[in-house]
Structure formats: structure tokens, C-alpha cells
Structure 1
């Protein structure tokens, strides 16, 4: 599964990316440190939306949505996609927020 950032800027918490050359897109709020209270599975990602298509167009094409709690849980069809994106985000560089 090919996952790439399309927006990953120093000093910003919000990141965006695509999976498999635009088959899916994601937007996430990513912290440098894990959060037992807010993060998915106690991790760095406090918000994550994955949708079908190369650009985020809102909830219409959304297949996964976590906004400090589950709104749309990944079903069987999208579970591996969700785990791959989450792993990618959890392993993203952390130093970008430090001056």
C-alpha cells in the first residue's frame, strides 16, 4: 500500500495525504506525543478521516472517521486501509513541530 503526504508542514498539526495514488485520501490531526485521552489507541492521531478519492470532499465519501471518538468505524472492507494509514501516521517524523 503506497501512502504519501500531500500536506505536511512544520508547525501545523493537520496533515493530509493519499493512498494508492489517490484511490483514497486522508486528513488527520497529528501530535508529536501520544495521548492516552485523545489519540486513537492512545497514539498521536486525535482525528482521522479517510475517504474514497484523491481529495477530501467531506463526509459523503468517508469510510473512516475518528474525531476524538468513533463516528465511522472501519468495517472489514476498510480495516487494513485504516491500520496502514494509522501506522504511517504514528511513524511520521516528530521533530517538525520543534523550532
Structure 2
């Protein structure tokens, strides 16, 4: 199942950075292709017009910044 949306990552100054995400996930974990053997097999994160992470059955672009790591953690917690 595909899911997309936006995650607001809090900034130190009190504002938010928008991270757009696209995720393909399944009902059951996939040891071979899922992130950490989980249910997410494809994931893309974009912020300020730049790709900050991309996973397609393996990392094409590992998370490049703190916002990418936080968005990834949120999605793993929600969908894995």
C-alpha cells in the first residue's frame, strides 16, 4: 500500500521544517527488502526541493540530515 504526506519537524527557533514523504508498506514484515526487516520496502523523503533519503529495497540515498533521520524514525514507528 502506498502512503504519502508531510511531516513537520520542529526547529530550534520554534518553527517547523516540512518533510514530504512517499512510502510503500505491507501488512507483514519483509526480512529481505524491508527497512530493518520491517514492513516499509520503499521510502522517499524530500525537503526544500531536495531528496534527503531514498530507500528502494535498499538505500539509494541514506538519510542526509537530522530532519531526515527524525522523519524516518516517525515513519518506522508508525508503519513498522
TM-score class, shorter: 0.7 to 0.9
Question: Is 1:18 equivalent to 2:6 in the alignment?
Answer: yes
Give me the TM-score of the superposition, normalised by structure 2. 0.77
Number of residue equivalences: 72
Q: Which runs of 5+ in 1 are unaligned?
A: 1-12, 54-59, 91-99
C-alpha deviation, 1:83, in angstroms: 1.3
The aligned counterpart of 1:65 is 54
Displaced runs of 4+ in structure 1, greater than 2 A?
Answer: 75-78
C-alpha deviation, 1:76, in angstroms: 4.8
Query: Could you say which structure has the higher strand fraction?
Result: 2
Q: Which runs of 5+ in 2 are unaligned?
A: 9-15
Question: Is 1:27 equivalent to 2:35 in the alignment?
Answer: no
